[in-house]
Amino acid sequence: MKPKILITREVFDETLAYLAEHCDVKSNQADKPFDPATLALHLQDKDGVVCCLTDRIDEAMLASGKRLKVVANIAVGYNNIDVPACTKHGVMVTNTPGVLDDSTADLAWTLILATARRLTEAEAYVRAGDWKGWHLKQMLGVDVHHATLGIIGMGRIGQQIARRAAGFKMRVLYQNRNRWPADVEKWLNAEYATKEQLLAQSDFVVLQMPYSPATHHYIGAAELKQMKPTAILINSTRGGVVDDAALVEALKNGTIRAAGLDVFENEPKLNPGFLELKNVVLAPHVGSSTEATRRAMAMTAAKNAVAALTGSKPPNLVNPDAKTKA
């Protein structure tokens, strides 16, 4: 008998076909997110689940899914999953690292350029019919080339962001949990800095660290005051690493120049103050959203799940200490 697996959100046809070769598949192709009670009900007889960052898998959910052997997240981050609880219950947790690094780095750069050159503000100006012709001081932005880029979180995605800075001849500073060896810093053309040094010296500050209790409000009112008044903040990682209320006030008061955001606290809800501001570029958490990348993410999650359910070690196992269920 094939193991039973739940897919919590719509996926691609090839992902469904692959999973169907190995599993009895229940898929939410209607793509209406499950509320917690409905998700718990669906998990009662499932051996595995392929889920998204919008699905919270915690102790209460594991109590319903007693048969679960694997939680395969279609994301590189997994703050939606209580990993210690899964480990305790012998449930493997997997993610999708690597396949989305370049696309997410591209999106970070999209935010950098769009914010620096006031692109969304300029487009709205044109669409509203307010543009009456060229003049010298129209929509003045800031240069990206030769500026200082500060990256907080120099993992795979942070490194790809840094590599792209070479084309703009930027000075790159980075802050990371651990400093990289000299040869890696040379390859990245990046200098290690303390958090305080990076905030004080950078023209663009890009956040690319995972969200956790330790990084909650990593950037708040105090940190925003340490930045240059001409600086731009880019959050392309996870909501919650920035105190959004403090950021709204900083943008209103000119504490920093502007911000580009792909993620928010409590998304899809967002602080309504952002909608009143012109000096912020807003995107709906689309960092990895290219067709090729999202297809690769879904298939990676599917392969992780199948490996776990057929007695193999998943390629992207987050919690190797989980004692797998028979």
Q: Which residues are catalytic?
A: 238, 267, 285
> What CA–CA distance (Å, rounded) separates 221 from 243?
8
Task: Record the tokens describing residue 165, joined without a space.
Answer: 């800075």
For residue 48, give the nearest of 249, 226, 304 by alpha carbon: 304
> What CA–CA distance (Å, rounded) separates 285 from 225?
26
Are the C-beta atoms of 305 and 95 separated by less than 8 Å? no
Chain centroid to CA 24: 30
Work out the number of other CB atoms within 10 angstroms of the CB of residue 2: 14
Strands 92-94 and 148-152: unpaired
Beta-strand runs (E) in 35-157 = 48-51, 70-73, 92-94, 148-152
Based on the number of CB atoms within 10 Å of its own CB, is 326 exposed (0-12), middle (13-18) or buried (19 or more)? Answer: exposed
For residue 65, give the nearest of 52, 88, 48 by alpha carbon: 48
Phi-psi region of 133 (alpha: psi -120 to 50; beta: other; left: phi over 0): left
Task: Record the tokens describing residue 63, joined without a space.
Answer: 């109590």
- 14-17 — which CB contacts under 8 Å span 24+ positions? 14/295, 14/299, 15/295, 15/298, 15/299, 15/301, 15/302
> What CA–CA distance (Å, rounded) separates 260 from 144?
14
Concatenating the DSSP letter of every residue in 252-273 gives HHTSSSEEEES--TTTTS--GG
Beta-strand runs (E) in 208-297 = 232-235, 258-261, 280-282
